[in-house]
Structure 1
Amino acid sequence: MNDTFLKACRGEKTDYTPVWFMRQAGRYLPEYRAVRGKTTFLELCKSPELCTEVTLQPINLFGFDAAILFSDILIPMEAMNLKLEFHEGRGPVFPDPVRTQKAVDELIVPDPDATMPFVMETIKLLLKELKVPLIGFSGAPFTLATYLLEGGSSKFFYETKKMMFESPVLYHELLQKITDCTSLYLQAQARAGAQALQIFDSWAGVLAPGDYARFALPYVQSIIKDLRQVTDVPIIYFANNGSTLIPNTVTAGADVLGLDWRINIKDAIDKVGNHAVQGNLDPMALFLPQEALEKRVKQLLDDASQAKGHIFNLGHGILPQTSPDKARIVVDAVHRFSGK
């Protein structure tokens, strides 16, 4: 197996910089759209064979150095006794938001092997096919809570912050249940064979640093502490829009800090201490002409040269409108410029 990605996560010397993309299996690929066109998104997430197929697509097409399990961060929330829907053009929807003591009390902490066996089966199928490491993942508790409280995606997070500030005890009860669920879910992925784990805190950046330290970070720290008791796989923590949160995120306990594009990676490296870093090309940079795109890739690699370990990635997920050719250009450029 090509373990360059794992070595970079651990801060070990590598022959070249490994690269993978968040959302590398997805709507920008005609091959993915062909699979997705035959089923609903939730049905796809619950089919180990189809999830295996779409997870492998970008590996076979572009030669990424790691695969990430195809799923959705909200799958475990459905298993907590919630109704989850995906609407075209609107995204995920929870028709019955969790905003009362009764609603929190009715949430369960599910056994992941019993309620989400399709995820573990996908991991096992992928391990038979892959020659690069497989990344398992989950959402972070704060990010997951926003979907439950808002009923879906949000711009202002009114219900989330309202509960945080008006009903902190109830907020903690909700976050603790989500944390317990997420911890067990990631442990199950590690048992099934995932070789690294990423925790996505997609909405962390909507919080002021002090509020993040109180209302989000402790739950991530708890999950990682639990994982350290049962597995030694590398753990990546990605706090989107989190440049102002780095003094806090370095205390999460992760091996690798994922970075969005809103900070120069060289500046971030000066702040992260004894952590490897992952990132952080602006996904929109993939719309540059080839020469300009390659120049930007090289500059990013140069800026990251002093990192304990560097995994090249985008600063967020690849956009559906991106040409697959640009993904190939970036992967080839990372490998070429970093010495593969």
Structure 2
Amino acid sequence: MTEHNFPPLQNDRILRAAKGEEVDKAPVWIMRQAGRYLPEFRELRSKHDFFTICQTPALACEITLQPIKRFDLDASIIFSDILVVPQVMGLTVEMKPGVGPVLPNPLLDPSHISRLITPNVEADLGYVGEAITLTRQKLNGKVPLIGFTGAPWTLMCYMIEGGGSSTLSKSRPWLYKYREDSHKLLQMITDVIIDYLVMQVKAGAQLLQVFESHGDFLNLELFEEYSFKYLKQISEKVKQKLDVQNIPRVPMIAFPKGATLDSLELLAQDESYDVIGLDWTVNPQEARSRLGDKVTLQGNMDPCAMFDTPQNVRKRAAKIVENFGKRRYIANLGHGILPETPVASVESFIAGVHSI
């Protein structure tokens, strides 16, 4: 991959916060900020299939920039999807309106693991790299760009369930019934993710987030064996590979949604991630005291609180910053923004965060 000459960064607030450095204000971004709550997103989406947008760098770039043009955000996140990884491993993924992602041929038992392929990440996911490079150029240094992936356990669940699930009744039994095969599958996914994240940094990503969206299905014992083990490996191997290629490391964020405080504490004490994302159920003061001051915390406004009045949204956002404290903190929602969220609430949320 060629060397890039990107414009100098004008706002490094989120990078400073991730490293534990002083900031004038808490940085803020929003999970799924380039998404369905924006009329300009819905207009573009009406003309193109979801994965066509993901796989077309110019379209992915355009959507990534939409919220940056509209709001005073401190970071952008590349428009893509966590399920591009199962796609390049040989599984069909369709985005069905009103349903969400569907994998019509899931892994029904461990014998199906043999159906998976080892992709050439730089070739097969090169479109994400191209979108990142293009977006870095178009951002013109305004804010940093975040790259991301789903975590191995979360992706394994989609690959077995065949889509989203409120119970994970097909994938969770694997952890007891097929322990060795579960680890085999998780390792295959992990190997792809490591190369994928390295490629994103080479393309221009300035932070990386790993979404463990199914953390709420794991107690501490299961989290340690089936999530943490692979999250740690991802962080360590990404850094090693960047060092070998003489590419500067970037801060890394882990977001284990719904994980127990014991699990979050395990992750924090390990210090393999600079930032830990918290969902809206976690008490800020308790998180701060349990997780310590060696990691930056990110979160954790309830996405449904965005349906309050603009004035109350602003007040609540300011209060959350006060509760976490400005140092080692990145403001965000406790999960992705909901499609029906009023645009005015987003403005109020950002204003509330920046008011402290």
Contact 1:93 1:151 in 2 (8 A): yes
Task: Give the CA deviation at 1:290.
Answer: 2.1
- Determine if the alignment matches structure 1 residue 280 to structure 2 residue 300: yes
Structure 1 spans left out of the alignment, 5+ residues? none
Distance in 2, matches of 1:298 and 1:243, equals: 25
Structure 2 spans left out of the alignment, 5+ residues? 1-8, 243-247
* Equivalent position of 2:254 in the other structure: 237
* Equivalent position of 2:191 in the other structure: 180
* Equivalent position of 1:16 in the other structure: 25
Question: Alignment partner of 1:213: what SS?
Answer: helix
- Determine if the alignment matches structure 1 residue 223 to structure 2 residue 240: no
Distance in 2, matches of 1:314 and 1:233, equals: 22
Q: After the TM superposition, which parts of structure 1 deviate over 4 Å for at least 4 consecutive aligned residues?
A: none
Q: 2:122 aligns with which of 113, 138, 150?
A: 113
Contact 1:17 1:334 in 2 (8 A): yes
Distance in 2, matches of 1:243 and 1:259, equals: 10
* Equivalent position of 1:96 in the other structure: 105
Contact 2:219 2:259 in 1 (8 A): no
Distance in 2, matches of 1:35 and 1:89, equals: 17
Contact 1:17 1:310 in 2 (8 A): yes
Q: 1:134 aligns with which of 124, 141, 145?
A: 145
* Letter aligned with residue 134 of structure 1: L
* Equivalent position of 2:34 in the other structure: 25
Task: Give the CA deviation at 1:247.
Answer: 2.1
Q: CA RMSD in A?
A: 1.2
* Equivalent position of 1:292 in the other structure: 312
**What is the TM-score when the length of structure 1 is the normalising length?**
0.96
* Equivalent position of 2:331 in the other structure: 312
Question: Alignment partner of 1:238: what SS?
Answer: strand
Question: Alignment partner of 1:161: what SS?
Answer: coil
Contact 2:219 2:260 in 1 (8 A): no
Q: 2:133 aligns with which of 124, 137, 148?
A: 124
* Equivalent position of 2:4 in the other structure: none
**What is the TM-score when the length of structure 2 is the normalising length?**
0.92
Distance in 2, matches of 1:259 and 1:43, equals: 31
* Equivalent position of 2:44 in the other structure: 35
Alpha-carbon deviations, 1:52-108, whole Å to 9, x = none? 011000011012100000000000110001111111111111111113333212212
Task: Give the CA deviation at 1:308.
Answer: 4.5
